[in-house]
Amino acid sequence: MINHDHTAADTQGPMYSVVIPVYRSANILPRTLERLDAFFDKHPMRHEIIFINDGSPDNSWPVLEKIKGDRDDVVIIDLLRNSGQHSAMMCGLEHACGDFVITMDDDLQNPPEQIIHLIEKINEGHDVVFGEFPQKMHGLTRMLGSKVIGWLNTKLFKKPPGLVLTNFRIIRRDIVDAVCEFNTSFPYLPGLLLMSGKTFANIRTEHHARAEGKSNYSTRVIAALIWRILFNYSAFPLRVLCGVGVVMAVASFVLGAFYLIRALNKDSAAPGWPTLVVLLSFYQGLTLILLGALGEYVVRVVNDVSGRKAYRVRKKL
């Protein structure tokens, strides 16, 4: 019989929190916990395992209640509605008590046995360590989406060259606290980690095919994530629109100058037409520039005063 009380094995060592968002994984959860138990039996250390049910439409919550039982090392949280993986992760970070927090998926694509590699690497003094997979077992849609998101991470969050970001990672307590201080309704955890930490590293870990079912990362979900990154962590779309406004304004000024010169050189077939074109061109171009500039300020104000929580907890055991 497996003994799940590991607290007596290493009462002086650091505590590790394993955070796992749950969505449509009712059939996988018992196996996930079983393999985590096997890992902590092989590597006794103080730990807690936090499952966050992200409004899963299947019976994931009843399964979590069953596997929780009277275990003190398992924490289960039921969110009021589906808030997205990054919001569920944020919930897990805010409830985690460990000196180090490990995040992983619920579908066993991140083998729990590989956690030891993350722990060994972060003990070298890094702030965050990401698992790096020799071969990702993802579908084409998710792989293409990951390419776009990777480009945004480099451009917007100054991701160090060569660093690979994955959901299988370990984070130091001070970085967890720094991330939790961000007041955002739309958290994007990799970006927040890049903004909070200083030293990052990769360690080679295995990546398996999903144990059951199919990935929840549909085209819609990936597009929503890209939208979240663009509109909540950068002014890039507004700068693009402002640039378009400048181009349109210049084109309007040129057009207005053309009609003005034409009207001065010869009579206009429609009296007043050149004046109307010049005024409309000038003021419409000026309006586009002003809207772009105002948008820059609006996005900053929204980011500063946004106070809505990214998630709502229904129950915690």
Q: What is the dihedral of CA 47, 52, 57, 58, to 10 degrees?
A: 10
Count CB neighbours of 24 within 10 A.
18
Res 53: pLDDT = 95
Q: What is the pLDDT of residue 223?
A: 77
The domain spans of the chain are 16-234, 236-302
| pLDDT score of 6 | 45
Predicted pLDDT at 174: 94
**What confidence category does residue 306 fall into, taking pLDDT thresholds of 50, 70 and 90?**
low
Between residues 85 and 216, the one the model is more confident about = 85
Residue 257 has pLDDT above 50, yes or no: yes
Instruction: Round to the nearest angstrom and report the end-to-end CA distance of the chain.
Output: 24
pLDDT at 47: 96
Residue 2 has pLDDT above 50, yes or no: no
Q: Is the pLDDT of residue 206 over 70?
A: yes
Q: What is the pLDDT of residue 213?
A: 54
∠ at Cα 63 (61, 66), nearest 5°? Answer: 110
In 3D space, the residue among 296, 198, 209 whose CA is nearest the CA of residue 245 turns out to be 296
Strand partners, 87: none
Average pLDDT, the chain: 81
What is the Cα–Cα distance from 103 to 196, expressed in whole angstroms? 17
16-234 is a CATH 3.90.550.10 domain: yes
Q: pLDDT tens digits for 107-151?
A: 888 899 999 999 999 999 999 999 988 765 555 566 677 777 777
Look up residue 86 and give its two tokens.
Answer: 């990054």
The H or E element that residue 76 is part of is strand 74-79
For residues 196 and 312, the model is more confident at 196
Averaged over 35-63, what is the pLDDT? 95
Which residues does residue 313 pair with via DSSP β-bridges, in sequence order?
A: 79
Question: Which of the four pLDDT bands, split at 50, 70 and 90, describes residue 1?
Answer: very low
53: which strand partners? 22, 78
Q: Mind spelling out the 3-state secondary structure of 292-315?
A: HHHHHHHHHHHHHHCCCCCCCEEE
Instruction: List the Cα angle 197/202/203 in 5-degree steps.
Output: 140
Query: Angle, nearest 10°, between helix axes 219-233 and 140-157?
Result: 10
In terms of pLDDT, which residue wins out, 227 or 211? 227
Task: Compute the distance between CA of residue 202 and CA of residue 85 in angstroms, rounded to an integer.
Answer: 22
> pLDDT by residue (tens digit) across 278-294?
677 667 767 776 777 67
Which range of 4-8, 162-166, 229-233, 245-249 scores highest in mean pLDDT? It is 162-166
Question: Distance between CA atoms of 141 and 252, rounded to whole angstroms?
Answer: 41
| Residue 210 pLDDT | 61
Q: Would you state the pLDDT for residue 307?
A: 55
